[in-house]
Amino acid sequence: MGGCALSRSKVLIPLIARLKDEGDIEGLVDILFHEESEVFRMDAAKALGQIDDAQVVQQLVTALKRDPDSGVRCEVVLALEEQSRVGCVIARFLRECGRYAVVEFEDWESAALDPLVEALEKDPKSVVREQAAEVLGRRRYKPAKEVLARAIEESQIDDLHWCMVDALAKIEKGRIRDPLLSNPKENDPRVIRITAYILDKLKNTPICTLLAIVQKNAREVWKRKWAALLLKKARSKESKGAAVEALQ
């Protein structure tokens, strides 16, 4: 059994590399859809992401919806991210050259990223939803804002929650609506992690809003610790006063 797997590896690894170099979309898609081993399906998805051809996108979207393995779907998400970059770069280049027929290339980007918005809502595995959120945040894909905001409000306090908060913050360029921060669903001590995150990333969030989160969710010792950190960040008299009051 092990020898058979090793033998297949010796065949498939160089085959996938050759198909990628030759731009053989059909050959890679065949492996992605029909290979039994999820490892080689992942390799095929990664290779497809590196081929600059719009027809790759639909094949990857199909795999995202159908492949039973979450690891493969995560790799497909990353491949779609690569495809979205291609469309964006080409559209930007054409604009800079004074050519305005760029709609098809902008559509290329949305065709690659819209399925990730759907995966964020519907994929059964949180690891895939996390990967989709990370990509949407990195690409600062504004059409994902509404779905991310709704998912944050409805989610439990877990790694997926923080991943979506991070993605939305990147899209909003550091501005995030206070209700998403000041009304957490659970009285979970881990909620204080968002305060540390905000201190680093969300520069435009009022200090008083951060203090409200700490007061509502942290144990007494954590309230003092985070109030002290917030005091260092405070600029206005109001913010400093609120932080000092929380320390007392």
Q: What is the pLDDT of residues 83-103, one digit of tens each?
A: 988 766 655 555 565 555 444
Question: Is 148 within 8 Å of 120 (Cβ atoms)?
Answer: yes
Q: Is the pLDDT of residue 58 over 80?
A: yes
Q: State residue 246's pLDDT score.
A: 56
How far, CA to CA in Å, does 71 sit from each of 6, 54, 120? 21, 23, 15
List Cβ neighbours of 115 (8 Å cut-off, separation of 6 or more): 61, 64, 65, 80
Longest alpha-carbon distance in the chain: 71
The interaxial angle of helices 38-49 and 2-22, nearest 10 deg, is 10
Mapped onto helix, strand or coil, the DSSP state of residue 125 is coil
User: How large is the average pLDDT for residues 197-213?
Assistant: 55
Q: For the segment 155-204, what is each residue's pLDDT rounded down to a tens digit?
A: 776 778 878 888 888 887 755 443 444 444 444 444 445 555 554 554 55
Give me the helices (H) in the chain, please: 2-22, 25-34, 38-49, 55-66, 70-96, 103-122, 126-138, 145-154, 159-171, 178-182, 193-201, 207-217, 220-233, 237-247
| Cα(80)–Cα(64) distance, integer angstroms | 9
Q: Please check whether residue 150 is in contact with residue 177, taking contact to mean a CB–CB distance below 8 angstroms.
A: no
175 vs 165: CA distance, rounded Å: 11
Burial 191-209 (b: 16+ CB within 10 A, else e): bbebbeebbeebeebebbe
Report d(CA 48, CA 25) in Å as an integer: 7
Of 72, 17, 82, 29, which is closest to residue 52 (Cα–Cα)?
A: 82
Q: Count the neighbouring beta carbons within 10 Å of the beta carbon of residue 5.
A: 11
Mean pLDDT, rounded, of the chain: 76
What's this model's pTM, rounded to 2 decimal places? 0.70
